[in-house]
Amino acid sequence: MSAAQIGGPNPFGDYAPQSSQIQGILSGMHEAFEADLKKDNDNEAESLKSFKELMATKKNEADTLKATLQKQETDQAAAGKTLSDSEVLLDDTTNDLNNDEKFFDNTKEACQTKAKQWSVRTRLRTEELNGMQQAIQILSSNKAQKTFESSTSSFLQIASARKHTERNTVRTQAYAQLKLLASKFHSRSVAQIAAEVSVGGHFDKVIFMIDDMISLLRKEEQDDIEHRDRCENSENANKNTLGDLKHAIEKTEASLKRMGTIKGELSGDIDALEIEIDATTSDMAELLKFRNAESETFKKALKDDTDAVALLKKAIVALSKFYKNNKIAMPALVQKNPEYEQDPDKAPETSFAPSDSRKSETGGILAILDMLVEDGEKEIAEGRADDKDAQEKYMKQSGALQDTLDGQEEAKANTESEKADLEEKIGSYEKHKKEKSDDQDAELGTKGALGTDCAWVQDHFEDRRTKRKTEIQGLVDAKSMLASGGSGI
């Protein structure tokens, strides 16, 4: 309104200068240009800010992709390491299997050899026993008794007189042999047989006692052999089992150590992902806060511009009301040249100008108001377009951040699931290790029991066997002496 020409009729002439209208228009145009320039600068600043935010979002996405790539490379390396460990374990297991098969073949061959030897020894011993039993049956038959009684060599004692005869010599020799065996081996059974011979017992009874004693000693020898074989088999089995358990425990401990390292790496990955998720969430909140502030600013500017346009339109209506009420034609809303009411050569009159002499000035004011209304409406339209563009940019940036957040949360969930599976596997391995440790403790207890039960085998088996053979041989010799001396006294 300040651009409108103010003042009454010129008292010095009929010339009405119109420069004030031009100045008003130029001033309005200048203000409009300044407003547009400021708006363009603001838009440029907003665009630059949006560009920087978009670049920051893209950088975060690039960092996330790099982290994902690094994790995948780490997982690939871990999988390669697991494959390498599995191949090493397969090689170890294959070697153990080959060694076990070789040990089994050697053990089988040794057992077959021992079985053959034992079969031969058993067969010879059985044949020897059968021969001795047949000899005893022959010597103990009634025919043999009659033959010995009628024989001139007098195998049997036929008189009660104790003389230094051949029969007494045989009994004495047998008694000495049995007494020597009883003293040497501290055997009460042999001592009883010797006492029976000493008191003049029946030779057949003594021979049967010797046979029972020999059978008992051979049964004792068989028990020792079975005990020795049982101890050897049990000790070998215990040794192999302890070796297997130790290897299984060491392998489980190595696996637990490796899985513990992987668990630590997964925990580190989860912590890093949580930091990234917090950063992305913060960026989304900051972006939303900025958008809300921007929206509030737009709404306020839109309201101000709308109110200003409404006021300008009301002012136009008020200015136009005069012409409408007085039925005067509206002046053209364009700049006109100055008009002279009278001849310029005449001297000015002192009378007032007509009532419509200033309508051209009013037309200039209306033109300015119309221009301001147009600028306001244009600014409203541009503001709406800028807000729409800002909303689209916000949705695009927010969507990118949401995709990044979804990827990070999915990666975290997958990592946590992998960690949970690993912890469950660690638990099963620890349980397996405890079971193997318990089995190892039990086998160590078995080893101690075997050491107590089987220690004599290594130190005394051969000595007992040698002494038993000597004792059996002595009994066989005594039995031969008695058999050669007759069936009674």
- Listing DSSP states for 431-489 in one string gives HHHHHHHHHHHHHHHHHHHHHHHHHHHHHHHHHHHHHHHHHHHHHHHHHHHHHHT-S--
Six-digit token string for 195: 């006492």
Flag the least confident range among 130-134, 393-397, 472-476: 130-134
In angstroms, what is the C-alpha Rg of the chain?
64
Residue 487 banded pLDDT, cuts 50, 70, 90: very low
Mean pLDDT of the region 274-281 = 92
Other beta carbons within 10 Å of 367: 19
User: Which pLDDT does position 170 carry in this prediction?
Assistant: 56
- Residue 355, pLDDT above cutoff 60: no
15 - beta bridge partners? 340
* Of residues 283 and 183, more confidently modeled: 283
Q: Which of 241, 255, 246, 245 is nearest to 430 (CA)?
A: 255
* Of residues 16 and 264, more confidently modeled: 264
User: Which pLDDT does position 68 carry in this prediction?
Assistant: 87
* Of residues 213 and 380, more confidently modeled: 380
User: Which pLDDT does position 187 carry in this prediction?
Assistant: 62
* Of residues 37 and 340, more confidently modeled: 37
User: Which pLDDT does position 364 carry in this prediction?
Assistant: 67
* Of residues 416 and 108, more confidently modeled: 416
**Residue 15 DSSP SS3:** strand
Six-digit token string for 481: 């002496």
* Of residues 398 and 227, more confidently modeled: 398
Residue 188 banded pLDDT, cuts 50, 70, 90: low
pLDDT (tens digit per residue) in 225-250: 887 888 888 878 888 888 898 898 99
The label of the residue with tokens 């011979």 reads 197
User: Which pLDDT does position 140 carry in this prediction?
Assistant: 63
Residue 124 banded pLDDT, cuts 50, 70, 90: confident
- Residue 50, pLDDT above cutoff 50: yes
The conformational region for residue 174 under phi > 0 = left, psi -120 to 50 = alpha, else beta, is alpha
What per-residue string of b and e applies to 71-91 under the rule 16 or more CB within 10 Å gives b? beeebeeeeeeeeeeeeeeee
With contact defined as beta carbons under 8 Å apart, do 448 and 295 qualify?
A: no
Residue 171 banded pLDDT, cuts 50, 70, 90: low
Q: Which of 184, 242, 163, 218 is nearest to 442 (CA)?
A: 242
- Residue 356, pLDDT above cutoff 90: no
User: Which pLDDT does position 101 carry in this prediction?
Assistant: 86
Residues near 171 by beta carbon (within 8 Å), at least 6 away in sequence: 197, 200, 482, 485, 489
User: Which pLDDT does position 359 carry in this prediction?
Assistant: 42
The 8-class DSSP code of residue 353 comes to: P
Flag the least confident range among 37-41, 82-86, 325-329: 325-329
User: Which pLDDT does position 362 carry in this prediction?
Assistant: 46
Residue 122 banded pLDDT, cuts 50, 70, 90: confident
Looking at the chain, how many residues does it have? 489
* Of residues 82 and 272, more confidently modeled: 272
User: Which pLDDT does position 278 carry in this prediction?
Assistant: 93
Residue 151 banded pLDDT, cuts 50, 70, 90: very low
User: Which pLDDT does position 258 carry in this prediction?
Assistant: 92
Flag the least confident range among 178-187, 271-280, 408-417, 479-488: 479-488
* Of residues 470 and 143, more confidently modeled: 470
- Residue 137, pLDDT above cutoff 80: no
- Residue 352, pLDDT above cutoff 50: no
pLDDT (tens digit per residue) in 434-443: 998 999 888 8
**Residue 324 DSSP SS3:** helix
User: Which pLDDT does position 8 carry in this prediction?
Assistant: 46
- Residue 98, pLDDT above cutoff 60: yes
Work out the percent of the chain whose per-residue pLDDT is above 70.
67
User: Which pLDDT does position 184 carry in this prediction?
Assistant: 66
- Residue 275, pLDDT above cutoff 90: yes
Q: Write the CA distances from 136 to 130, 144, 277, integer angstroms.
A: 10, 11, 102
User: Which pLDDT does position 336 carry in this prediction?
Assistant: 44
Mean pLDDT, the chain, rounded, equals 75
User: Which pLDDT does position 141 carry in this prediction?
Assistant: 65
Work out the percent of the chain whose per-residue pLDDT is above 90.
11
- Residue 413, pLDDT above cutoff 90: yes
* Of residues 359 and 432, more confidently modeled: 432
